[in-house]
A and B are shown apart, each in its own frame.
Chain A
Amino acid sequence: MDLLKLESQTIHWIREVYSQYPRTIMLWSAGKDSTALLWMVRKAFFGKIPFPVVHIDTSFKPKELIQFRDELANQWGFDLRIFSNQDAILEKNTFPDHKLSRMDCCRELKTRPLLNLVKPKVFGDDRVQVVIVGLRSDEEGSRSKERFVSTRNADSLWDPASEPPQMDGYFPPAIPEGYHLRLHPILEWTEVLIWEYTKQENIPINPLYFAKNNRRYRSLGCLPCSGPIESGADSVDKILLEMQSLSLIAERKGRGQDSEDGGGLETLRRGGYM
């Protein structure tokens, strides 16, 4: 019952915003959250994904993730586009190359390509109006301050305290020149609910989430900044069982960048990060 209600809310928002803002794209990390979201996009539009799906490749993602990404794009037949900051990668201007802090590395390899996506002439003649992001309010502090539709100004900056009022399931079709919107359709889902839904719908899942040699990833990111947890859970059922005790520990604990910046992603996210 609550999964159907959450799914309905998610699909309603995707449809409502896309129908008013056809220049929409979606970010897909190939992790469990954005894959569940992609599944709901297909349900919203009767089996098709009507907009480009963007993967930001940092070159430090596990190879199993990239393989899963390409296989699913093939299987579902959507318009997958891959973007990255090639200059930084080639010049080894990154954290794993010991040149940048974790936060600056995120900014270079993820925020920068993301901000380029909303510039004119990247997708067609006009700029992108909406970027759909599969973030959840329970992931970390600054994401709990997000709205379903969240505005980004002409410099892609975020100011959570000055968001306009929002009605339930509706956002007016008027944003100032140069602004873009972030749509967060799974904002009110939790980690457990995503796993329950993944099980219910039998959604394809990245094998890195399943235990091998007593280790599995709970949250997927770049290899140098996200570590696996000790776990024997090698199926969705076992992950759900494990979650009952795991919820005691923050999900993104394995993610290095969360522990810098006074313990939050706020600065990074105010600057345009997803």
Chain B
Amino acid sequence: MSWLKIAVGGHIDHGKSSLVGCLRRFLQKGIFAEGLDKAHISDTLKAERATDRTMALGRSTTSLGNHSFTILDAPGHLEFLSGFITASASADLLILVVDARAGFCAQSLLHLKISQMLKPVPVLIYFSKMDEVNWDKSRFDELTQVAKTLQDSMGFTCLNILCGSSLSGEGVLSSVVCPHFASHPSLIEVLCNYRGEENNLIDAPLRILVQGNEGMAYGSLVSGSVQTFQKVMIFPDGVIDDVLEVSTLGPSSFWPHPVGIRLGKHILKRGDRICSFDNQPLPVKKVSALLMAFSSLALPLRFLQQTSCIPVKSLSSTQVLEQTKVEISFDSFVHSESDVRLDFLNRGSLFDGYSIVASLKLN
């Protein structure tokens, strides 16, 4: 049994929804009417069907044998970027759809950049509409060269480079007939064989982020493992305590990993971080962040420390329209990336077409 979450990104009209429709028509056999346009399988809103463009993120979970897939069909328009940000923040894999005729365009690059900033997952590059270029091998090679150059400059993991036609399913559901590409696996084969990135969260030092307390504290095990009678350190208060009771759903090596925890003396609250006493984190006061903002408005961005919610640094979003690296100094110590959160405190801004992407690194 496996479960894979896939974000589908790429430029407007390059064939994201058609690819998703092609996969879903195959995986959910018999559900969709014969004549239904492939793109309309995930473009379900009336406004989307009327204008032939995806406006809201589409989501579907389907299974093939022992494999379950949640496919996230993102809109390509800059106006609806919020959909792609949401998809790439949670996906395990990005399929970047690139129209074989047009090649890499503005949103292809932007989506790649955002996904690698938010969650650097492997990328499967798929050249769509190969039927439109008569399965031209030299065009494929040319595009592959561009992909390789991008990979070198951005440093992402490329799972595979495939091509196909989402209308006929060639290259997606079956291998390509054209002999040049006969050795390529089909896209669905690659998805079924993909085992996901093994993360060694268990081997890393203990970090629990406390979400709240309802008789017993509950939170998420970010890394490491925790046992009863273990001596732990609680930040930001800096107190030392013993673990009395731990409850989990089962052994698991992925995030989120919900835990319940009770300590000897200390009453845990939202925002507390639990670390191992024997392997304490190195506290720092400086964090660097990679930022990218999209806004027509000059709204303030603020960095917060999770517990205090007091802004420690403010920037104007117009200062970071391109990918920008900033250094942030905190008054009190920071122990892990998850201690810092970026927020826009201007309440209305959530709905002003305003987006911000950030990745944080402890210095």
Partner-B contacts on A (CB < 8 A): 1-9, 11-12, 15-16, 18-20, 43-46, 48, 50, 137-138, 141-142, 144-147, 151, 160-169, 172, 174-176, 187-190, 192-193, 247-250, 262, 264, 266
Interchain CB contact under 8 A, A144 and B85: no
Point out the residues of chain A lying under 8 angstroms from B75, CB to CB. 161
B31 at the interface (CB under 8 A from A): yes
Residue contact B61 to A163, C-beta cutoff 8 Å: no
Given A9-B256, A168-B89: A2 and B2 interface contact (C-beta under 8 Å)? yes
Q: Is the CB of B46 within 8 A of A266?
A: yes
How near does chain B come to A240, taking the closest CB pair, in angstroms?
13
**Of the candidates B60, B250, B256, which one forms a contact with A144 in the assembled complex, judged by CB atoms under 8 Å apart?**
B60
Residue on A nearest B294 in the bound complex, by CB: A165
* Residues of B contacting A6 in the complex (Cβ-Cβ under 8 angstroms): 3
**Chain A min CB distance to B277 (Å):** 25
CA distance A7 to B47 in the complex (A): 34
- Beta-carbon nearest neighbor of A267 in chain B: B46
Contact B350 A248 (CB under 8 A): no
Q: A3 contacts which chain B residues (CB < 8 A)?
A: 1
Check A46–B260 contact: CB distance below 8 A.
yes
Name, among A2, A7, A16, A144, the residue most crowded by chain B CB atoms within 10 Å (CB to CB).
Answer: A144
Chain A proximity of B26: nearest CB distance (Å) = 13
B70 touches A188 (CB 8 A): yes
Q: How far is the CB of B192 from chain A (nearest CB, A)?
A: 14
Q: Which residue of chain B has the shortest Cβ distance to A22 in the bound complex?
A: B212
How many contacting A-B pairs (Cβ < 8 A)?
Answer: 165
* B residues near A2, Cβ cutoff 8 Å: 1-3, 68
The dominant DSSP class at the B interface is mixed
Closest A residue by C-beta to B70: A188
> Contacts A1-B2, A9-B256: A247 and B28 contacting too (C-beta < 8 A)?
yes
Taking a contact as CB atoms under 8 Å apart, the answer to whether B218 and A160 are in contact is no
A-B contact pairs, 5 of them (CB 8 A): A2-B2, A7-B249, A147-B57, A163-B83, A189-B61
- With contacts A167-B89, A174-B345 known, is A144 near B214, CB below 8 A? no
B179 in contact (CB, < 8 A): no
Quick check: A141 and B216 within 8 Å, CB to CB? no
* A190, B56: Cα distance in complex, Å: 20
Q: Are A176 and B350 in contact (CB under 8 A)?
A: yes
Q: How far is the CA of A12 from the CA of B259 in the complex (A)?
A: 9
Least CB distance, B300 to chain A, in whole angstroms: 13
Q: Among A50, A146, A161, A264, point to the contact of B47 (Cβ < 8 A).
A: A161
Cα separation A46 to B31 with both chains bound (whole Å)? 39
* Chain B positions 250 through 278: 1 when the CB is less than 8 Å from some CB of chain A, otherwise 0: 10101111101000000000100000000
Which B237-259 residues have C-beta < 8 A from chain A? 247, 249-250, 252, 254-258
A137 and B90 in contact (CB under 8 A), knowing A1-B1, A12-B220, A164-B350? no
Q: Is the CB of B247 within 8 A of A4?
A: no
- Residue B30 interfacial (CB < 8 Å): yes
Q: With A and B bound together, what is the CA distance between A167 and B56 in angstroms?
A: 16
Q: Say yes or no: A169 contacts B86, CB within 8 Å.
A: no
The interface residues of chain A lying within 8 Å CB-to-CB of B249 are 4, 7-8, 11, 43
Chain A nearest Cβ from B76, distance in angstroms = 13
B58 at the interface (CB under 8 A from A): yes
B350 lies within 8 A of A174 (CB): yes
Q: Beta-carbon contacts of B30-65 to A below 8 Å, as 1s and 0s?
A: 110000000000101111000000011111111100
